[in-house]
Amino acid sequence: MAVTHSAPSIYTAPVVARRSPCREHFEITIRLPSFPDAVPGQFLNVLCRDAQSMDDTGAAMLRRPFSIGGLRRSAEGVEIDILGRVVGPGTAWLNALQVGDELNVLGPLGRGFTIPNHGERALLIAGGVGLPPIRWLCEILRKSAVFCEVIFGAQSRDLLPISFREPPKSDGAFTLCAEDFAREGAACLITTDDGSCGVRGRVTDGLSHWLANAEAPSNVRVYSCGPEPMLRAVATICAERGLRCEAAMERVMGCGMGTCQSCVVPVVAPDRASGRRYALCCREGPVFETARVIW
Ligand SMILES: Cc1cc2nc3c(=O)[nH]c(=O)nc-3n(C[C@H](O)[C@H](O)[C@H](O)COP(=O)(O)OP(=O)(O)OC[C@H]3O[C@@H](n4cnc5c(N)ncnc54)[C@H](O)[C@@H]3O)c2cc1C
Ligand code: FES
């Protein structure tokens, strides 16, 4: 299904909610009077410092990219969720925001995930802070009655920024354990590297398990977001099984809009003598068909 992408603008919006879903993660919700159409996988480039302050000591000078982790429209405006993990000055500044503080964002940016064709089912795979676009994608797909299953993994239980309805199974069974996905009716398999929650292992172990059991794996489109080694491993497994797969890639970004050329991803280019070219992650991505990416 074709997806149109709206022109980005700069918005200043108040924080209307904040929470700490787990150790090192924060979630903030901003409310804007209006916001263009956007799709999961698209992102905001966020000013992670006080726009008015002249004191730039230790501040994040450049905007920082964050996936749109949820978007709700109502009579009061448009609420957008940003889920993040504190790794440096920009994310530390976001984590310190309180309800009522203002945030300056540029968006919607980039190209998001595509919607499955009629009759296709979706397997959503998220690792660590790759959760936000996958969570929103699940919500959108379930509203379109697409059958979805989710594999979500992190290093350990205290780094899983989700809440549970019931303890996740440790035998590889998909259950309605994860509240974020269960309310959409999507079953989830949790993996942790240290086995402190769900299945011990990586999300790719969950994927291999799923492929060993799925009844109709050829009718599936895989969607993934997480650290690059995880995306590469998921892409390899999908290529071996002939599954169509999309990945939301991350690059260190300057402008987020195709100007600074800092965010390249090598992709196949059959029309070039070299057979390859560089795509800008912020413009052509961040979501790419994994078969196009030269890993
Ligand atoms: C399209 C896109 C969507 C993203 N969505 C989210 C999200 O929803 N939630 C979230 O927590 N993070 C997300 N990120 C990553 C986020 O942008 C970085 O964590 C953030 O910029 C770090 O800023 P900082 O000032 O806190 O840390 P910095 O001091 O800038 O960086 C701290 C460390 O993280 C590394 N780093 C910074 N940016 C990236 C990156 N893009 N990819 C890989 N390593 C990086 C740096 O090299 C450094 O080692 C996204 C990145 C992209 C490109
Ligand atoms: S971030 Fe500047 S070109 Fe992509």
Please choose from 43, 249, 257, 288 the residue to mutate so as to test ligand 2's pocket, defined by most ligand atoms within 8 A of CB: 257
69, two tokens: 């982790």
* pLDDT at site 56: 64
* pLDDT at site 57: 64
Q: Report the DSSP beta bridge partners of residue 153.
A: 127, 191
Q: What ligand 1 atom has the least distance to the C-alpha of 48?
A: 25
Q: Cα(165)–Cα(184) distance, rounded to whole angstroms?
A: 13
CA 14 to chain centre: 23
* pLDDT at site 248: 98
Distance 260 CA to ligand 2 centre (A): 5
97 with 48: CB under 8 angstroms?
Answer: no
Around ligand 1, the residues with Cβ closer than 6 Å are 43, 60, 64-67, 69, 83-85, 87-91, 129, 132, 250-253, 286
Distance 240 CA to ligand 1 centre (A): 30
**Chain segment 203-216, per-residue pLDDT in tens:** 999 999 888 876 65
Which ligand lies nearest to the CA atom of residue 90 in the structure? 1
In one letter, which amino acid is 196?
S
Which residue's CA lies nearest to atom 30 of ligand 1? 88
Distance 117 CA to ligand 1 centre (A): 32
Q: Which domains does the chain have, with CATH numbers?
A: 9-109 (2.40.30.10), 121-247 (3.40.50.80), 249-295 (2.10.240)
198 with 97: CB under 8 angstroms?
Answer: no
Q: What is the CA radius of gyration of the chain?
A: 19
Distance 201 CA to ligand 1 centre (A): 24
Which ligand lies nearest to the CA atom of residue 285 in the structure? 1
Around ligand 2, the residues with Cβ closer than 6 Å are 253-256, 258-263, 280, 282
In one letter, which amino acid is 13?
A
Which ligand lies nearest to the CA atom of residue 48 in the structure? 1
Picking from 59, 51, 64, the residue whose alpha carbon sits closest to that of residue 13 is: 51
Instruction: Classify burial at 231, counting beta carbons within 10 Å of its beta carbon; exposed 0-12, middle 13-18, buried 19 or more.
Output: buried
Picking from 178, 228, 236, the residue whose alpha carbon sits closest to that of residue 207 is: 236
119 with 145: CB under 8 angstroms?
Answer: no
Provide the phi-psi class of 110: left if phi over 0, else alpha when psi is between -120 and 50, else beta.
left
**Chain segment 223-235, per-residue pLDDT in tens:** 999 999 999 999 9
pLDDT below 70 — which residues of the chain?
1-5, 54-58, 214-216
Which ligand lies nearest to the CA atom of residue 62 in the structure? 1
63 with 106: CB under 8 angstroms?
Answer: yes
Distance 279 CA to ligand 2 centre (A): 10
Distance 251 CA to ligand 2 centre (A): 9
Distance 93 CA to ligand 1 centre (A): 13
94 with 106: CB under 8 angstroms?
Answer: no
Which ligand lies nearest to the CA atom of residue 91 in the structure? 1
**Residue 286: cis peptide before it, omega within 30 degrees of 0:** yes
* pLDDT at site 72: 96
Residue 240 CB partners (closer than 8 Å, separation 6+): none
Distance 259 CA to ligand 2 centre (A): 6
238, two tokens: 């999908």
